[in-house]
Amino acid sequence: MKNPEIASIFFKMADILEMQNVQWKPVAYRKAARAIGELSEDVEEIYKKGGLKALKEIPGVGINIANKIAEFIENGKVREYEKLKKSIPAGLSSLLEVPGLGPKKAMLLYKKLKIKNVQDLEKAALEHRISKLPLFREKTEENILKGLDIYKKGRERVLLAYAMPIAEEIKTALEKKAERVEIAGSLRRMRDTVKDIDILAVSSKPLEVIQIFVSLPFVKSVIAKGETKSSVLLSNSMQADLRVVPLKSFGAAMQYFTGSKDHNIELRKIAIAKGLKLSEYGLFRKERQVAGKTEEEVYNALGLSYIEPELRENTGEIEAALKGKLPLLVSVADIKGDLHCHSAYSDGDNTIEEMALAAKKRGYEYICISDHSKSEHIANGLSEQMLFKKIEEVKRVNKKLKGIRVLCGSEVNILEDGSLDYSDEILKKLDVVVASVHSKFRMPKEEITARLVKAISNPYVHILGHPTSRHFGKREEMGIDMEALMNAAKKYNVALEINSAPARMDLRDAYVKKAVEKGVKISVNTDAHSTDELKFMEYGIGVARRGWCSKNDVINTYSLKEFMKFLKK
């Protein structure tokens, strides 16, 4: 899949053009780069099937960018990019990654002090050469050093599940003073990874709320502190932003602060077309506020039905809202069971009975204990003999417990040739079979696709576990022909899993959306290895919602009776 590479080229082109003070093109390149990066289809496939015309269908891609994509696919190079790279020293655009430095200042530093990279920048700042420049006094030099500190630590995206508890903690602290506090930004949109924490508060005394915010024990330094907003750097190197607004602006501020940026820009364009102005303070006709207290009010006043935060990515939700055709999204409350969990039989921490009781406590009707299969030695995969023992144990627990049904399953390894590591005779004895890849992740696209299709064509397989096997910070997703895989999933009536483990979140949102469009069933599971991890369901449901899933698309919203029908195929 060349999408990330192509997106990265356009981002870099945007940076260079911005340094050269070129107007608007950077905006256009970044927009196209984002669209390509989030795409579920492989641009190479799009081009091979439909040529330039098909490429132009991608939002933000016009004829010029389409030509550049084609050029990259054909020749592995974009001439315009090669030319741009030569126009400025390599490394200069890395200055843009230093917080506080933008294209104007970076270019000035290059012209006046011959600063070509971050090393030069640090040296110049330490030698106090920067503060001697016009427009750059002592404060700016100090801020550059602070910015370099942040740059060096790397402002990488962190897992949703890592950031959420910190956001909750900030929220709780601010609630002592503010009338209302909400988590906004990409956290509220449930993106699988986030860069910072955005908090919105309602208060008539904003300064007092901001004071609490900047004084939190885990705040390392204050980046900005004004009368309505403040930004801080946390001790874990994440940035947190707080915005404080009056009650009458709460909805508009929530809308603004939730994003995404592209979604907001589209909304503001709609407002302009209607002779209105949308900002975080409300929707205005001239001076008069026509909406803003609630988000519903803002969307409705723009002629749209309310759009759930998870959908706000400018990927078709605005058009759907205009027509009133948004899906009714699945929610955690709809979930009747978890179909992929581990017990102490393989590599889990808890007994089957403990897992079952924890599931009951969550209000589930059923839970499937799917321990690893025999070839997964590292995770204590079950031999046939142990599997028989486990089947008896499940029977015992079901006799003992009321109000929860334990299903006996297995997470069966998909071997290199697409066969499974238990025979059909064994699989037949299980309630639920989840088939997953745990080895040989790097295979040519055709081979990996054939391998997965063969696995799910097995009549005893119900769910394809973590379909792409991506793992944040460890492993890229396998290069699968998604179109072919989804067609096969539909044909064999196999559900694709959304694995809610925070470092997986696999299948990802864009693929889920595509699967739902095709009528492929989804199963949202936690892959819990302890009772505590059953809570990850919240994150998997976030992915499902971002993928436009309704309740009916998700098999584990079925009642036990309906679900048993699905299992028979």
Partner DNA sequence: GCCGTTTTCGGCCCGACTGTTTTCAGTCG
Q: Which stretch binds DNA (CB under 7 A): 259-267, 364-372, 422-430, 500-508?
A: 259-267
Find the angle CA(319)-CA(322)-CA(323) to the nearest 5 degrees.
95
Of the candidate spans 23-31, 168-176, 424-432, 467-475, the one that interacts with DNA by CB under 7 A turns out to be 23-31
Q: Secondary structure of the chain: what % helix, strand, coil (to 5)? A: 50, 15, 35
Q: Which amino acid is at 204?
A: S
Interacting residue with DNA among 48, 83, 104, 325 (CB under 7 A): 104
Cβ within 8 Å of residue 257, ≥6 positions away:
184, 185, 198, 200, 243, 280
Closer CB to DNA, 199 or 437, in the complex: 199
Number of residues that bind DNA (CB under 7 A): 62
Asked if 309 interacts with DNA (CB under 7 A), we say no
Q: Which stretch binds DNA (CB under 7 A): 279-287, 322-330, 395-403, 470-478?
A: 279-287
Asked if 244 contacts 228 with a C-beta cutoff of 8 angstroms, the reply is yes
Question: What is the end-to-end Cα distance of the chain in Å, rounded?
Answer: 33
Q: Which residues have CB under 8 Å from 479's CB, separation 6+?
A: 1, 444, 445, 448
* Torsion angles phi and psi, residue 290, rounded to 5: -100, -15
* Residue 103 found at the interface with DNA (CB under 7 A): yes
Give the residue with the Cβ less far from DNA, 138 or 208: 138
User: CA–CA separation, 560 vs 404, rounded Å?
Assistant: 10
Q: Does residue 328 bind DNA (CB under 7 A)?
A: no
SS3 184: coil
Among 123, 261, 361, 396, binds DNA (CB under 7 A): 261
Q: At what angle do helices 3-19 and 25-38 cross, to 10 degrees?
A: 160
Q: In angstroms, what is the minimal distance from the CB of 85 to DNA?
A: 15
What is the smallest separation between the CB atom of 6 and DNA, expressed in angstroms?
13
- Residues 1 and 42 sit within 8 Å (Cβ to Cβ): yes
**In sequence order, what are the beta bridge partners of 231?**
224, 241
Is 239 an interacting residue with respect to DNA (CB under 7 A)? yes
Among 1, 9, 42, 60, binds DNA (CB under 7 A): 60
Show Cβ contacts of residue 457 under 8 Å, excluding neighbours closer than 6 positions: 488, 492
With b for 16 or more beta-carbon neighbours within 10 A and e for fewer, the 15-39 pattern comes to bbbbbeeeeeebebbbbbbbbbebb
* Per-residue binding letters, 30-59, with DNA (x by CB under 7 A): -xx-----------------------x--x
Give 282 or 467: the residue with its C-beta nearer to DNA: 282
Q: Which of residues 455-514 bind DNA (CB under 7 A)?
A: none
Q: Are strands 432-436 and 405-413 parallel, antiparallel or unpaired?
A: parallel
Q: Is 552 in the site for DNA (CB under 7 A)?
A: no
Closest CB to DNA among residues 67, 375: 67
Residue that has been written with the tokens 């530093």 in this structure: 109
Residue 223 CB, shortest distance to DNA, in Å, is 7
Residue type for position 150: I
- Between residues 280 and 527, which has the closer beta carbon with respect to DNA? 280
Tell me: does residue 241 bind DNA (CB under 7 A). yes
Buried/exposed 489-524: b ≥16 CB within 10 Å, e otherwise? beebebbbbbbbbbbbbbbbbbbbbbbbeeebbbbb
Number of neighbours of residue 410 by Cβ within 10 angstroms: 30
Our finding on whether 29 is near DNA (CB under 7 A) is yes
How far is 427 from 462, CA to CA, in rounded Å?
Answer: 11
Q: How far apart are CA 569 and CA 562, in angstroms?
A: 11
Question: Which of 65, 240, 291, 543 is close enough to bind DNA by CB under 7 A?
Answer: 65
28 binds DNA (CB under 7 A): yes
Could you say which of 12, 25, 129, 535 contacts DNA (CB under 7 A)?
25
Closer residue to DNA, CB minimum distance, 323 or 377? 323
DSSP 240: E
Q: Which of 106, 291, 321, 505 binds DNA (CB under 7 A)?
A: 106
DSSP code for 191: -
Name residues contacting DNA, limited to 117-156 (CB under 7 A).
131, 134-140, 143
Does 260 bind DNA (CB under 7 A)? Our answer is no
AA identity, residue 235:
S
Secondary structure E strands in 229-362: 229-234, 239-245, 277-279, 282-285, 288-291, 337-341
Judged by CB under 7 A, the residue of 24, 111, 385, 444 near DNA is: 24
Closest distance between DNA and the C-beta of residue 525, in Å?
Answer: 33
**Residue 58 beta carbon to DNA: minimum distance, rounded to whole angstroms:** 7
Site membership for DNA, residue 264 (CB under 7 A): yes
Closest CA to 161 of 202, 193, 129, 137: 193
Confirm or reject binding of residue 83 to DNA (CB under 7 A).
Answer: no
Per-residue contact track with DNA, 187 to 216, x per CB under 7 A? ---------x-x------------------
Q: Using CB under 7 A, list all residues that contact DNA.
A: 23-25, 27-29, 31-32, 56, 59-66, 80, 96, 99-106, 131, 134-140, 143, 185, 196, 198, 224-231, 239, 241, 261, 264-265, 268-269, 271-273, 277-281
